[in-house]
A = this chain, B = another copy of it.
Amino acid sequence: MTAPSKLDDLYCRPGFLFKRCHQVAAAIFIEECREFNVTSSQFSALYVLHTHPGVDQIALGRLTGLDRSTVGLVIRLLEERKLLERWPNPHDKRRMQLKLSAAGERLLEEVTPAAERARQRVLAILPPSQRDELMQLLVNLLERHGAVIDAEAILEGKHRPGRFDFSEAKPARPARRRGA
């Protein structure tokens, strides 16, 4: 039907399609959640902190697929809105433990139906069989790339950083040699 474009090679790239699909999903999410002023990253953080209160920022990053800096930004914004509380871990003063405030719990409850509507709007446009198929293929791709988030391992401290962990500093400092 549509004439083949010179740009089809670009538009069929997986990265391009992922980005475009994410644009669509993000736009719908923002639309549904506009009244609550919550982005999808913030929603993820609220959700994780609801189910796992007391985690620190690094763990939150691993659980949400965000790096340390992004987590720092996201939780700063949430903290400024008094949606969560932070306090240093008494056993390790580097760690800041996180927990939703009452207002945070309340907001999450209010946002959840809107987020669910967004989810539906993104997928409902596909025939039911294709919905599961698409989600399954995406999970499958992530699995084979070792990019599935293993919440158990992270929370048990058995986490082994993979290729797509952005939470930690990569090769550390070059470790200035003493010998030479």
Interface size on A, residues (CB 8 A): 61
What is the predominant secondary structure among interface residues of chain A facing chain B? Answer: helix
Tell me the smallest distance from the CB of A112 to a CB of chain B, in Å. 10
Nearest to A14 among chain B residues (CB) is B122
Check A65–B20 contact: CB distance below 8 A: yes
Q: Which of B7, B27, B118 contacts A163 (CB 8 A)?
A: B27
Q: Which of B5, B10, B122, B126 contacts A152 (CB 8 A)?
A: B5
Total copies of the chain = 2
How far apart sit A144 and B63, CA to CA, in the bound complex (Å)?
A: 31
Check B6–A14 contact: CB distance below 8 A: no
Q: Which of B9, B24, B115, B118 contacts A142 (CB 8 A)?
A: B24
Check A14–B10 contact: CB distance below 8 A: no
Determine the chain B residues whose CB is within 8 A of the CB of A36 once the complex forms.
none
Check A134–B135 contact: CB distance below 8 A: no
Determine the chain B residues whose CB is within 8 A of the CB of A106 once the complex forms.
none
Check B135–A17 contact: CB distance below 8 A: yes
- Of all A-B residue pairs in the complex, the 9 with the closest CB atoms, nearest first, are A15-B25, A18-B22, A5-B151, A17-B138, A6-B51, A125-B144, A134-B137, A18-B21, A14-B122
